[in-house]
Amino acid sequence: MTPPANALRTIEDLPDVGIEMPDGCRLSARVWRPTDATDNPVPAILEFLPYRKRDGTTVRDALTHPWIAERGYACIRVDMRGNGDSEGLMEDEYTQQELDDAVATIHWLAQQPWCTGSVGMMGISWGGFNALQVAALQPEPLKAIITLCSTADRYADDIHYKGGCLLNENLGWGATMWSYSSRPPDPDLRANWRELWLERLKHEPFLPSVWLRHQRRDAYWQHGSVCEDFGAIQAATLAIGGWGDAYKNTVPLLVEQLKAPVKGIVGPWVHKYPHFAVPEPRIGFLQEALRWWDHWLKGIDTGVETDPAYRAYLMDGVRPQRWYSERPGRWIAEADGVTSHLPGLTLGLSDEGLGQDGPLDVSVRSPQTCGLEGGEYCAIWLGPDMPGDQRADDALSACFDGAPLAEDMDIVGAPRVRLRLSADRPQAQIAVRLNHVHPDGASTRITYGVLNLSHRDSHAEPTPLTPGTEYDVSLDLDHIAYRVPKGHRLRVAISSAYWPLIWPSPERTELHLTQGDITIPQRPSGDDEYAFPPPESAPDLGQASLRAPNNSRRVETDMNSGETHLIIEDDFGLVTNNDHGLTHGGTAYERWTIHPDDPLSAHGVCRWTQEIRRNDIALRTETSCEMWADKNTFFLKARLDAYEGDTLVSTKQLEDAVPRDQM
């Protein structure tokens, strides 16, 4: 007998289900499904990641997948090829092999006797990216996806480049993957774990070298960028993001561009699932997901098609802090579209400030240390990663202040900045921040954008500047929903450097501004327009803490050399999983160094340690990498050492030099 649609079902947890790919490679999946699924088949929901289901995502998996499975679904968490407990080798992110494996997995799921044949795909970050990319390949069983904290454009809106500028996250996240993917399978699951691990270590790619060889928006970045053909996505798409995340533009873009059924939700959160994200308020994400799956995978009318097209959290303007536990505000809702239909207020930039008519004749020559209050590009580790008080960076920038606001201003959308400028060097960059200035002078960053001025007309075909020649340029700042209170001011701050978010131009530059304005999308102020249910989840995973986590971030100035160092230390703790007994933990260290007068002094260092223990087996990887540059070339160095106990079992070193290409 088929159980009622709303009945909770008893589930089983299968930790290591093998899925064989067409070439014979075995992928390892963890499956949560109703125990009676063979008699009463259920739809399948796939999450396809490199981040290790046995230790990497096990805490969040425990909160999420059992809850959904109890409500009549099979949830499948697959380790990608070359990661975790799966066989094979990984080459890069979002390769055709990765996408083909995901498609093969979807077809395998649809053919299982416990599956109805309908499949959904869900994921955050990497899993959100490949959910979009796989949907664009249109595997027939894939009916719907939920993509969180993802991007539609791998060049313009990922961790590699922004506005044609090289993000330091290109090295930072590359260092993370250098460490993550070098870890061994769990010896408890793979009898040949040592053989798999040594082969993995031998072939482990150092991805910053790959990514740095594509400084233009070429075919490499077009692959996997669903903005190349939004019409290819036919699966119903629920897109979710957060204002504290790096990927603020994807949800509005998908809602306004997809032809498939699509809805968008953006909260105040950093790079986390919304049922346990910070800052609060959290929402009942799992209930929203269930409504989505029930409608598109089971054909139940849950009302999702009549939900507003776009639901966003409008944050109250608050004082700058390095971390927020909660953001006051309210939920707003747009029935159709997102923000392109909203009116824009255009304010001129002049020698008299923001919104004042008059001539503009301003030069900007920021020290290379401008940007130290910018915070992390992608806040994820829950340390003091948010933008700080912008006054320090404002002092190193050209600032244009508006008059005190006569009433509250709700900024909803992506402000656009237009400038006429010249530079004294052929290669230059610009950073623009829209700030909220409080009555006592404190400055909160509302949103920002950066632009490599060689990319002013094209990311595919950049051209150098002619020094002294004026150019008209424009750039969109990141999407935001933010209320500036009555009596407070707006500030546009413009700098010629933004370290350590972006790598500096090869020479210190001076920009000369002669005309400019900003168009700020506005929405009438109001109260709450939508209410989500409170968050629910499955019980927390029981873990025994052997070392507590800790995060720190500090700036040091060497009084002898004049160099400034940003030092980030993240200890992720050491825990034992009470479910299966694996002990695991790790630490990370980053140091970003620059001299305020010398862009060629820029230097980045990243180091990671990862360890796992299983009974009398103790395994550890130590990874390091660094990057620096001269006027013409980027230089990279990396090392990977792997230990069994105290014995070094594998070592790998590389050095690389990559020509700068209008960068």
Q: Is 139:44 a contact under the CB 8 Å cutoff? A: no
Q: How far apart are CA 303 and CA 288, in angstroms?
A: 11
Assigned token pair, 91: 């080459």
DSSP assignment, residue 405?
P
The verdict on 459 and 330 lying in the same domain is no
> Residue 3 falls within a domain, yes or no?
no
Q: How far apart are CA 399 and CA 434, in angstroms?
A: 10
The verdict on 227 and 373 lying in the same domain is no
The verdict on 387 and 435 lying in the same domain is yes
> Residue 386 falls within a domain, yes or no?
yes
Rg (CA), the chain: 25
* Residues of the chain above pLDDT 90, percent: 97
pLDDT of residue 379: 87
pLDDT of residue 7: 79
pLDDT tens-digit profile of 71-84?
A: 999 999 999 999 99
Beta strands in 397-461 (DSSP E): 398-401, 409-413, 416-423, 429-437, 443-452
Q: How far apart are CA 604 and CA 492, in angstroms?
A: 29
Cα dihedral 469, 474, 478, 480, rounded to 10, equals 130
pLDDT, averaged per 10 consecutive residues of the chain (663 residues), comes to 72 98 98 98 98 94 97 98 97 98 98 98 97 98 98 97 98 96 96 97 97 98 98 98 97 98 98 95 98 98 97 98 95 94 96 94 98 94 91 98 97 98 98 98 98 98 98 98 98 98 98 98 91 96 93 95 97 94 97 98 98 96 98 98 97 98 97
The verdict on 367 and 273 lying in the same domain is no
The verdict on 322 and 378 lying in the same domain is no
Assigned token pair, 142: 């894939």
The verdict on 94 and 194 lying in the same domain is no
Per-position DSSP letters for 455-513, written without gaps between them: GSS-SSS-----TT--EEEEEEPPPEEEEEPTT-EEEEEEES--TTTBPPPSS---EEE
pLDDT tens-digit profile of 56-110?
A: 999 999 999 999 999 999 999 999 999 999 999 999 999 999 999 999 999 999 9
Which residues, in sequence order, are bridge partners of residue 145? 121, 237
The verdict on 472 and 601 lying in the same domain is no
Nearest to 150 by CA among 228, 220, 238: 238
The verdict on 138 and 166 lying in the same domain is no
The verdict on 499 and 355 lying in the same domain is yes
Pairing of strands 236-242, 262-267: parallel
> Residue 532 falls within a domain, yes or no?
no
- Domain CATH number, residue 22: 3.40.50.1820
Count of alpha carbons within 13 angstroms of residue 375, beta-carbon side: 28
Count of alpha carbons within 13 angstroms of residue 323, beta-carbon side: 12
The verdict on 98 and 167 lying in the same domain is no
pLDDT of residue 3: 58
In which domain, by residue range, is 458 found? 344-521
Q: Is 551:470 a contact under the CB 8 Å cutoff? A: no
Measured in whole angstroms, the distance separating CA 577 from the mean position of its chain's CA atoms is 27
The verdict on 243 and 289 lying in the same domain is yes
pLDDT tens-digit profile of 227-257?
A: 999 999 999 999 999 999 999 999 999 999 9
